[in-house]
Amino acid sequence: MKTLTINQFVRKNILELQPYISFRDHNEFNAPVLMDANESPFGEFNRYPDSTQKKLKGRLAWLKNVSPDQIAVGNGSDELIELIIKIFCEPKKDAIMMMNPSFAMYAFYASINQNEVIKLNLDENFGIIKENFTKSINEAQPKVFFLCSPNNPTGNSVDDIEFYLQNFNGIVVVDEAYIEFSDKKSSLGLLDQYPNLIVLQTFSKAWGKAGARVGIAYASAEIIRFINTVKAPYNVNSLSQELILKSIENSTEFEENLENIRIEKAWLAKKFQTVGCIKKVFPTDANFFLVEFKEVERVYQTLLKAEILTNKRSPAIPDCIRINIGNRNENTQLINILKNI
């Protein structure tokens, strides 16, 4: 891969944009009298949250062995996906590229920003066909490539991520929302080698904090500066920051829950083998299964009638339903219903 600079991919107006800076958060005070932000002097959460998320970034830097200036915190990974597209993709001009099928929000935010979406159709095992990748980048020249690994909704991991980093002339985003469930190595170790890499992770899945809405982007300090320039100043509230800090400090709950999910995953995989209406269960590195059924609509409606909510992927993925792993009681209810179909 030829030598590249991040500035060559950033929109001109973003290069010239001046960030909103909270004077309070960018300076040190001992006992300040806070009369600068028109807040109420009364109430439990009467002050704005730290716009720099300094404490949280410090703990994340320790947890992931990166520098704090390589971290951006978002209101969920969704916000970070939107910001990345806004930073690098000129409306009505640039394109993004994504796997197909994959996480729908990449295309959603690109469409809002009026960017073309190039979809790489996956093979029968949901792998990327490298020849199609090469053809697409030569023809469409997309600015941002979203790789979801493990992939949602298929569950498999992307092989040979370095190939795409070396051969894509733009920004490569590796979305690792489900990485804690996988035995595969995170792409965080590639950050120093590839300046065009952004790794997304989240506290919504394995950490069990979906309600807190906290996603993390790891990248070069240069890319992080652009994200911090474009993001809303108080995008992550105080309650969420405190909750995530407590979760990191007390990781026992996280480790126990992760182990329980692995136990339930193995239990479900074994039980699926006894269900007659199942045609195939696809291999997964995530906390969900993509399952092919003989009569998918009947299965989906039967589960829905029993108030078991699943994610039907047919017709986009023919005859398939995505089912995430629940607790033992939930998983037992699922299997009992399926066995009776």
Averaged pLDDT, groups of 10, the chain, 341 residues long:
79 93 88 92 94 97 97 98 98 98 98 98 97 96 98 97 96 98 97 97 97 98 97 96 96 96 98 97 98 97 98 97 98 97 92
Q: What is the pLDDT of residue 266?
A: 98
CA end-to-end span of the chain? 53
CB within 8 Å of 154: residues ≥ 6 apart: 101, 102, 122, 126, 282, 284, 290, 317
Report H helices in the chain: 12-15, 54-64, 76-88, 105-112, 130-140, 161-167, 221-230, 238-249, 252-272, 296-305, 328-339
CB within 8 Å of 298: residues ≥ 6 apart: 341
Q: What is the pLDDT of residue 327?
A: 98
Q: Whose CA is closest to 113, among 13, 234, 239? A: 13
Q: What is the pLDDT of residue 1?
A: 44
Residues 107, 100 contacting (CB under 8 angstroms):
no
Task: Report all structural domains of the chain as residue ranges with CATH numbers, in order of start.
Answer: 12-249 (3.40.640.10), 253-339 (3.90.1150.10)
Q: Exposed, middle or buried, 7 (CB in 10 Å: 0-12/13-18/19+)?
A: exposed
Q: What is the pLDDT of residue 85?
A: 98
Q: What is the DSSP letter of 311?
A: E
Q: What is the pLDDT of residue 3?
A: 63
Between CA 301 and CA 309, with CA 304 as vertex, the angle to 5 degrees is 130
- Quick check: bond before 142 cis, omega within 30? no
Q: Whose CA is closest to 87, among 173, 198, 13, 168? A: 13
Largest CA distance in the chain: 68
316, two tokens: 């986009």
pTM of the model: 0.95
Q: What is the pLDDT of residue 68?
A: 97
